[in-house]
Structure 1
């Protein structure tokens, strides 16, 4: 979501070598666009993104990871359904380096004038492609651009920590040991925000609850994920959540141990029929479709999407939503989560002050509702989180 770590992420989230990309990238075609959109007038206007025959999506991982990439892929298929006069191209396992630029360039050669680069570390390659093709609109998911945003570029994301806070409330009311677990990849703002929101939610209904964290230094490494889950369970943790791209390993390990699961990125309740509590999941289809419509109408430049676009509960269209409840969630927990959602939607925030860090220092003063920039600049763990942020 932020540009503070672009070089780190470009290295850390590189999921494949150049050779692997050539083997793994798959371009899928599916007809797509609404007859009311790609009109001759729009195409003749010369506006960025108009006049193309295809729409491209690139993903950093596999489309069936029960997580981040699966949610984005499902969103691309919603676009395919909404725009049946276009072709939708998708590419899986695209690293966050110059390989991403090459894949996007290939899509443009095939006729794409709209590209969705769906991973945090795809920002720099996406900006490079946008600069080389002013007639193409490139949309990047999760990061931000500091300073002026090019007229054919935009970033977008949902307010991820809101449904995570609600899930923390459910976890805090359900735990018997008062020990919650969180498996996360890297100490970037997205993960720190989510861990902190989860703990703040839990503590709001159960002051004794604490969140134990384990860092995997990978977005999708099943072996490390299995070890992380094992470590948390051995400490008496009875509810585990995560911030990983692929989520199946942690969920299966938690279910096998008889503990509770809080999901992330996608609905994976089928993997934990007994222990599923709730989760946070993407519903990208509506937003992807709205952005595509705006572009094809010739109105992208100067629109809210030609910026660092963010939405949440207050705007009423957050693409990151709370997952369905599992069988073990009490009515009391559901009501507490519902009430919290109403407060946040009106004038609140999961980070409503006072918020203190692990050392007890006040980071957000009492009564303060922090803005997006403040929250997306968090570089600390809040009180109640057990574990240290890696120094590198």
Structure 2
């Protein structure tokens, strides 16, 4: 490996900013106007926002008027997962059901009282238990239920049966939210095709700027009674505050690029992931590839080599010039046991060693080769040495 050369395989945490997006952001940063002002400078800023809104809407098959920009996927989820989310003319929801493997922004970020929340279990592949969900909905009586199910898991890449869940939820008069942060830009996402009521996105997972996301409604027939940020009437009253024009413009540019290359990138990344998995199996035949029997995102795989601890292995890979993750990157940089793996019933000793490889727009075949070389060195130094000393 050339001196200073790095291999970045942590796109599920943050995908590097695309050069084309950086150009758009820089141009938008130089606009002087406030998007709420009526003069020409203000109208120019407003035009940037509305053009970006159209591009983000197209990425998920939505209408631009139903896109609400936020500071990221976490704020978007916090905003909508509240008792005051409802269809116009109806009462708010009284019960929240969330998948056991959801992102912490859902599990910890909702605004429901603890005694009004139930957790939907997942099986050993990490897939939601639809039978449990149907049984719970059936016995719910007069409860007005909101269900939150991610489209793809950020740690394992496992895809969830969201469309099937949506049909169940609506059959019992409930509402359904989908965290589509990890899936969007990697697989086709269509809000109408999924049959959901609302989804949430984040730009930095698709090569856009950090600190910008969106809440996207299936129609304009929904409201949120309890706003998180109150003040002016920006974002159709859903979120007050002067809009981050540059970040929003960058989000739009990233969404446009992701949509244009979606099919090609899915095939390319799927082939690279398959090669990376094969290399790990060659190097460590006793490796566990998490959820290998489930349908997963084409860019993601998580693995554990018995006897290796994630924290030690991450440092070793980093020193070898390869950036990986042990799971979610939303825990203040801490390496800790994953609630996702616990929900799947992964043996604790193995769960403590799980590493995640996540590929993206900047990943090349050479990156996979360098990852395999680093993996071989890590196994030789940390694993085989330990085995010989036993």
TM-score, length-scaled by structure 1: 0.33
| Higher RCO by CA contacts (8 Å cutoff, separation 6 or greater) | 2
Of Structure 1 and Structure 2, the greater strand share is in 1
TM-score, length-scaled by structure 2: 0.33
Structure number, greater radius of gyration: 2
